[in-house]
């Protein structure tokens, strides 16, 4: 999935018509023509319905406030009754669905307000984060959209902003008692976004988004998560500062991630070609790719056995 503003949806339509993408992440600026622009992309997709996602967290990260109005931050939401938060999340997601979105890249279930997080976190208390994070996730599900909990395994107490550099979290044994708690309370149907984090005792200098130990080992095997796993944007400094995006895409898919966010749309063809080359030279196994494709097609509501591929 490339990251584009409303104007960039023209290029997304071209990519969709060529079957090169699973969807897109939309950022501001947007205007009243957004719904029509999204509908146009869906109409030309060569591979069926696409995932149309947006970061609509509230507070400092809300892409649709110019169309839908202001939304409180997670920290502000935590001062309201949980039932009211669920209703508000549902109402916002219903409005998003009316524009053509299928996925909200929220809630943030990081414990703590470290660099890059701040008021995006509900609390420093993992129980509070679990309660309000699950309320938002349920509200999004109530509206028929997919919520995406982020940033696994926990960015709230990390050392830096992953937009700029690779942050280091507390040691893994400390994460188990604090940062991993909210993930166990997310409702079925919630996807997980893996952050760009170095976890001492788990990944040791490798980003979690590229780590088999973090995604397949911890999230899938130890925690039993069998839903859709999404990467954070691979164009962020924590990853792109050390390697090119196509290389990172191969490593992320191999680690167990299903759906890749790959930054600007002009890099999509390069990522697609690198994935093909990785299949041919053995860096990626067909079984791992098929597993990811199966989850992504299920998310999109596309039956590969019944779809007439163009």
Which residue numbers are catalytic?
163, 232
What phi, psi does 229 have (nearest 5°)? -110, 130
| Residue 7 neighbours by CB distance under 10 Å | 11
| 69: helix, strand or coil | coil
Distance from C-alpha of 291 to C-alpha of 226, rounded to nearest angstrom: 11
Backbone region of residue 146 per phi and psi (left: phi > 0; alpha: psi in -120 to 50; beta: other values): beta
Extract the tokens encoding 112.
């703590």
Strands 61-62 and 56-58, sheet pairing: antiparallel
Distance from C-alpha of 282 to C-alpha of 27, rounded to nearest angstrom: 35
Report in angstroms the alpha-carbon separations of 42 from 21, 101, 133: 12, 11, 30
Beta bridge partners of 148: 191
Alpha-carbon dihedral angle through residues 91, 302, 26, 229, given to the nearest 10 degrees: 90
């Amino acid at each position: 999935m490339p990251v584009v503003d409303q104007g960039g949806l023209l290029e997304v339509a071209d990519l969709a018509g060529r079957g090169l993408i699973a969807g897109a992440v939309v950022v501001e600026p947007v205007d009243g023509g957004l719904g029509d622009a999204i509908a146009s992309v869906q109409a030309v997709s060569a591979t069926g319905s696409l995932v149309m996602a947006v970061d609509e967290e509230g507070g400092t990260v809300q892409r649709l406030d110019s169309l839908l109005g202001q939304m409180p931050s997670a920290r502000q939401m935590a001062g309201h009754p949980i039932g009211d938060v669920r209703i508000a999340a549902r109402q916002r997601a219903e409005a998003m669905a009316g524009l053509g979105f299928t996925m909200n890249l929220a809630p943030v279930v990081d414990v703590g307000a470290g660099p890059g997080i701040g008021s995006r976190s509900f609390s420093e208390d993992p129980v509070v984060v679990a309660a309000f994070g699950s309320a938002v996730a349920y509200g999004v599900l109530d509206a028929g959209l997919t919520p995406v909990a982020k940033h696994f395994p926990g960015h709230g107490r990390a050392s830096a902003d992953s937009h700029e550099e690779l942050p280091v979290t507390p040691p893994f044994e400390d994460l188990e008692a604090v940062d991993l708690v909210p993930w166990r309370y997310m409702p079925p149907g919630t996807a997980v976004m893996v952050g760009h984090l170095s976890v001492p005792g788990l990944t040791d200098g490798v980003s979690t988004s590229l780590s088999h130990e973090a995604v397949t080992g911890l999230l899938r095997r130890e925690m039993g998560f069998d839903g859709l796993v999404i990467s954070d944007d691979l164009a962020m400094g924590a990853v792109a500062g050390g390697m090119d995006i196509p290389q990172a895409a191969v490593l992320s898919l191999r680690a167990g991630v299903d759906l890749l966010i790959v930054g600007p749309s002009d890099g999509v063809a390069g990522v697609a070609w690198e994935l093909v080359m990785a299949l041919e030279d053995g860096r990626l196994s067909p079984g791992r790719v098929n597993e990811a494709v199966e989850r992504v097609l299920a998310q999109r509501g596309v039956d590969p056995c019944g779809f007439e591929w163009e």
